[in-house]
Copies of this chain bind each other. A is one copy, B any other.
Amino acid sequence: MDIKQVCIKASEASIRMAELDGTAKNKALSALADALLEHKDRLIAANAVDLKRSEEEKLAAPLLKRLKFDEKKINDVVEGIRSLMKLEEPVGNTLLSTMLDEGLELYKVTCPIGVIGIIFESRPDALVQISTLCLKSGNSVLLKGGREAVETNRALTEIIDGATIAAGLPKGWITLLESRDDVNEMLKMDEYIDLVIPRGSNEFVRYIMDNSRIPVMGHADGICHVYVDKDADLDMAVKITVDSKTQYVAVCNAAETLLVHEAAAAKFLPVLKAELDKKNVEIYGDEGTRKIIPVKAASDSDWATEYLDYTISIKLVPDADKAIEHINTYGSGHTDSIVTSNRQTALKFMNLVDSGNVFWNASTRFSDGFKYGFGAEVGISTSKLHARGPVGLDGLLSYKYMLVGNGQTVDDYANDRKSFKHVKLNKKIQDV
């Protein structure tokens, strides 16, 4: 497969995708959902081949579980598609309208980005979620899934491609890439691909960022913090810390470091330790912490470590400012939570902590597109440009300025024969 040709086709298709209205896109989504149900047996059979091979290759049990694509998962993704169909049409929305002068109207209108390259891990359901999000937002998509899911992904892509093109989508809007080499070729195609979204390990995301001129949306690390303030309700602080650390340790929004106000530490830490001990959490503490509870000594590198495990580091701080400073120094801009009953301290924390998700009296584990009610999630971004935090359909959109006149020239304004009025309108581009 010649990747450049694939990219050119995807780019040409993206122009046609931009033209589709909500009805046409929902028709394609509906056909796609029906086709997945219709070809259920084929999908399960393809997945069985992947599962058998992966078992023989001794893939770890949690990964095998993620790889499995059974009737329940097929029903789940179909249900996901039906919810996606109910979301408002994201393209062609007028975000702003201004009368620059009589008969000269400016509109800022949402539009697709163009061609999105997505590299994802083993879950075949991710392929369906991502490609349907791209469809709904009018983008072409190049997909690269994990090697272990190759048969399932191939069957899925064939079914999606067949059903959506029969429903009127342009050929080339979706393509599955199958080899690592294809990915490396893809990263060079900055002329055709507008955005790459890698979903995988930290090293992999960094590799992508360092090896492509294409903008990358993704997050490299998830070093999340809980800060227990002097004005915290200590029972609440224990609950939130335990949930943030242990509810699911292998994910990016799990807490890695706990910061505790010196004035709260003596009461709080022993109670917390008893709870963390029940979950076998290994604790590394700074000097102040170790004066109160018997734990291992934390080194400086602990503050910059994403354990992704039943491990936590604890540091005492003299005030909220020092907590904020620590987070802005060592954090990864992902998710950080303060526990306090002091509104002013909470607002200060949320304003000054430079992270995509800043929480007051809630577990860090809440930062997630589904929990936020976005209906679907493309990924989580720790960049501060374009999209930040959990990214839904919005992250797959751009906008353009449309100017509607009746023959205006700049010369008239440059020579004061006419002047700009700049009156805010409340008009949609569809009404011109």
| Chain A positions near chain B (C-beta within 8 angstroms) | 14-15, 18-19, 92, 98, 100, 104, 106, 111, 113-114, 194-195, 209-210, 213, 215, 217, 233, 235-236, 239-240, 242-243, 247-248, 324, 328, 343, 346-348, 350-352, 354-363, 365-367, 371-373, 383-386, 388-390, 398-411, 413-414, 420, 422, 429, 432
Contacts and interface: CB of A to CB of B under 8 A. Distances in A.
A363 B356 CA distance: 40
Nearest to A328: B15
B213 A405 contact: no
Nearest to A373: B422
Contact of A371 (B15, B100, B242, B328): B100
Contacts of A235: 407
B113 A404 contact: no
B409 A243 contact: yes
Contacts of A405: 359-362, 366
A386 B113 CA distance: 11
Contacts of A411: 243, 247
Nearest to A399: B388
Given A359-B405, A401-B372, A324 B15 contact: yes
Contacts of A384: 113-114, 194-195, 398
Contact of A351 (B19, B217, B347): B19
Query: 9 smallest A-B Cβ distances: which pairs?
Result: A362-B405, A243-B409, A373-B422, A365-B410, A236-B407, A384-B398, A386-B386, A385-B386, A359-B403
B385 A247 contact: no
